[in-house]
Amino acid sequence: MQISQPKGISNFFKMMLDHPKGLYFLFCVEMWERFSYYGIRALLFLYMTEKLIFSVGKAGSIYAWYTGLIYTTPLIGGYIADRYLGARRSILIGGGLMALGQFCLATGSLNLFFAALGLLVLGNGFFKPNISTIVGKLYPENDHRRDGGFTIFYMGINLGAFLAPLVCGTLAKLYGYKYGFMFAGFGMILGLIIYILGQNKFLAHYGLAPIHCKEQKECPADATDLDKPLTKEDKQKIAVIFTLVFFSIFFWSSFEQAGSSLTLFAEHSTNRMLPILHKNIPASFFQSINPFLIMILAPLFSSLWLGLSNKKLDPSAPMKFVLSLSFVSLGFIVMFFAANLAGLSGKVSFLWLISVYFLHTIGELCLSPVGLSMITKLAPLRFASMLMGVWLSGSSLANLTAGFFAGNYDKISHNFFFLIPAVTSGIAAVILLALVPVLKKWMNGVE
């Protein structure tokens, strides 16, 4: 008897063959860059509290500023790329700065600790918005493959995010934190090597010159439209971007507890003993659950959106954001009950955290790849990288909020702590739901 492949996954792999080769090239580059970033993120909070002996409050503040600035500098990096350097050169500069920062962190020197974080923040500003912008440029306007392309690209992000806590977390546990940080640096170097060797072959002229370039051969085909004033429709589309960026802050400020308070809950309030191996798994491993689930669920979601689109039932981007806020709120309701149980019994099963990450992953798939695709469709060409930076800067404020909030983890009861993001995300979902009709109108037919 022949066993048929699930239809959603089969459709996804058929869709994968229909994309530009440049997408898979950027997939590999982004995978290694995200490996390096999530390798650092998986270790940073524990490193500060265990190795540097910082209090949870101080570690929370530093983590807040680090992750917040990580998503602020893309606004500046996107502007510089649009106006002066071009996306391709900016990616190269950003990757080099991040690699340097990771190796400075690996020295274990307290004197270089803050310099290392600064280099990582600055490098990410040049790298992150511009690689996403180039992905969008690989597709013609109104190309139906674009959303699927960003879903594939998002799988590259999460493949790196899945591997990093396992590899870097294991090295840190067995040999010390500096080896975990060092391997994260090697990941960034490998990504840069792939980028340098393959960019001319797979990316043609895309992102080679600034938007306001003078050499016509390197300019986009519609460069003659760059100096025209923004139309009413352009302004409405930009208003949609800023509105959804605002609501994404509520999602990410809750979701980003993964690297701080949820890691502390895994370390101190979770039974991490694997029955088969009879060994405790490191708390950092739990940060691989979300990217692992992304890789499993992304093909299904991609096929789901495509199937709904064919039936004219695909939810709009604002409606998908409502769903994302609802799922992250539901995840923290689960954490409220988990914290209650931990208060009574000391430690709870790791299945509680797995269920929370499952709900948060569904929320992420309704928001993050949708948001990346939305920016490339709604943003006027002259502001493409800068508005991608605006999208990422929403995560900046979210990460600042998340980090400072995590600093209160040991100051209030844990069940009340987790109830706060559940309530704020739920209220944001209700308000955004009321705004969906207006936002759909302002999108002016962009699907």
Q: One digit per residue, pLDDT tens: the chain, 447 residues?
A: 333 444 555 665 666 667 888 999 999 999 999 999 999 988 998 899 889 999 988 988 898 889 888 878 888 888 888 888 888 999 999 999 999 999 999 998 888 999 999 999 999 999 988 888 888 888 887 676 776 778 788 888 889 989 998 899 899 988 999 999 999 999 999 999 999 999 999 998 888 877 655 434 445 444 445 567 888 888 899 999 999 999 999 999 999 898 788 988 998 899 988 777 677 888 878 888 998 998 888 888 877 877 787 788 888 889 999 999 999 999 999 999 999 998 877 799 999 999 999 999 999 999 988 887 888 788 887 777 778 778 877 888 888 888 889 888 888 999 999 999 999 999 999 999 999 999 999 988 776
pLDDT of residue 180: 94
Place of tokens 């800068």: 386
pTM to 2 decimal places: 0.77
Torsion on CA atoms 24, 83, 92, 258, rounded to nearest 10: -70
pLDDT for the residue numbered 435: 96
> CA–CA distance from 192 to each of 26, 175, 188, 198 (Å)?
11, 26, 6, 10
Q: pLDDT value at position 16? A: 63
Q: State both tokens at 257.
A: 């507890």
- What are the residues whose beta carbons fall under 8 Å from the beta carbon of 79, sequence distance 6 or more? 385, 386, 389
Q: Which amino acid is at 90?
A: S
pLDDT at 2: 39
**The predicted structure's pLDDT at residue 10:** 60
Burial class (CB in 10 A: 0-12, 13-18, 19+), 387: buried
> What does the block give as tokens for 308?
């709904």
Distance (Å, whole) CA 262 – CA 63: 14
Give the span between the Cα atoms of 249 and 253, in whole angstroms.
Answer: 6
Instruction: Quote the pLDDT of residue 14.
Output: 64
For residue 221, CA distances in Å to 49, 75, 218 come to 53, 25, 9
